[in-house]
Structure 1
């Protein structure tokens, strides 16, 4: 697992992957977890894009622990900031 000292938790493993239309990809939950864990500007923008197209909604924060759930709620509650 990848982990930086200022990350709330270790990033999830990138394996196993899912196959979608012939492409290998991370599960949505793993990808969102990585974005919430890093939470740099580019990660927040990408998470907001997922919210904007309906991939992530208000049902998701409960799937993540503490700080990650709080970060997702803040994006859901304030998408323009």
Structure 2
């Protein structure tokens, strides 16, 4: 959407699985941070609790998305 702080992931940010195309983790996290709906926030909390994303991840994103991720990481249990 034109109002999104960054654009959606490109197909080049995915990998071919056995039966379907899969987004790379960084692209998926960026997509969730852009949408930032409640369900996206819950998915990000799950990723923070389970370990795929941690305090080093905000630096991978533009500041507006980094701030959103810092909010999630500060309270991964909701």
Larger helix proportion of the pair: 2
Matched residue pairs, number? 76
- TM-score calculated relative to the size of structure 2: 0.85
CA 1:80–1:63 in 2, change beyond 3 Å: closer, same or farther? same
Q: Report the counterpart of residue 38 of structure 1 in structure 2.
A: 35
Q: Which has the higher contact order (CA 8 A, sep 6+)?
A: 2
Instruction: Give the unaligned 5+ runs of structure 2.
Output: none
Partners of 2:50 and 2:77 in 1: how far apart?
15
Q: Which runs of 4+ in 1 moved over 2 A?
A: none
Instruction: Give the unaligned 5+ runs of structure 1.
Output: none
- TM-score calculated relative to the size of structure 1: 0.83
The RMSD of aligned alpha carbons is 1.4
Q: Report the counterpart of residue 53 of structure 1 in structure 2.
A: 50
Match for 1:77 among 59, 74, 77? 74
Partners of 1:39 and 1:74 in 2: how far apart?
11
CA shift, 1:50, in A, is 1.0
